[in-house]
Amino acid sequence: MSQISRRALPRKPISPEEQARRQQQSDSLAARCRVVFERVRPSLIEDHRNWYIAIDPDTEQYIIDPTFNGIIKKVVEVYGYSNEPKLMMFRLNDTGYCGKI
């Protein structure tokens, strides 16, 4: 029995330099977004506790939705698809983390 795969070719390996560049870019984006998140969280957490928030650090605009699928849909509508990260997602709670710890 054969398996059906959506990928025609296997993924290319990523060089350690490229991995380091991507990690640095991700860390920089996270730090810039965290500043905006900490500023808007107190005003949003009371009415929107445990909602998801996606933050654009360049414009300081954000999108909120109570469900993960809902926020993904809204982000795609506004920003479309891209290979470069533009937003960081948080959860409106005491820590800002999404998922299980």
Give the predicted TM-score (pTM) of the model. 0.77
| Structure confidence by residue, pLDDT tens digits, 10-32 | 778 889 999 999 999 999 999 99
Rounded to 5°, angle at Cα 54 from 16 and 47: 145
pLDDT in tens, 56-93: 999 999 999 999 999 999 999 998 888 788 889 999 98
Q: 65 lies in which domain range?
A: 16-91
Is residue 7 pLDDT above 70, yes or no?
no
Question: Is residue 54 one of the residues assigned to a domain?
Answer: yes
Q: Residue 3 falls within a domain, yes or no? A: no
Q: Supply the pLDDT for residue 5.
A: 62
Assess if residue 47 is contained within a domain.
yes
Side-chain half-sphere exposure of 40, counting CA atoms within 13 A: 22
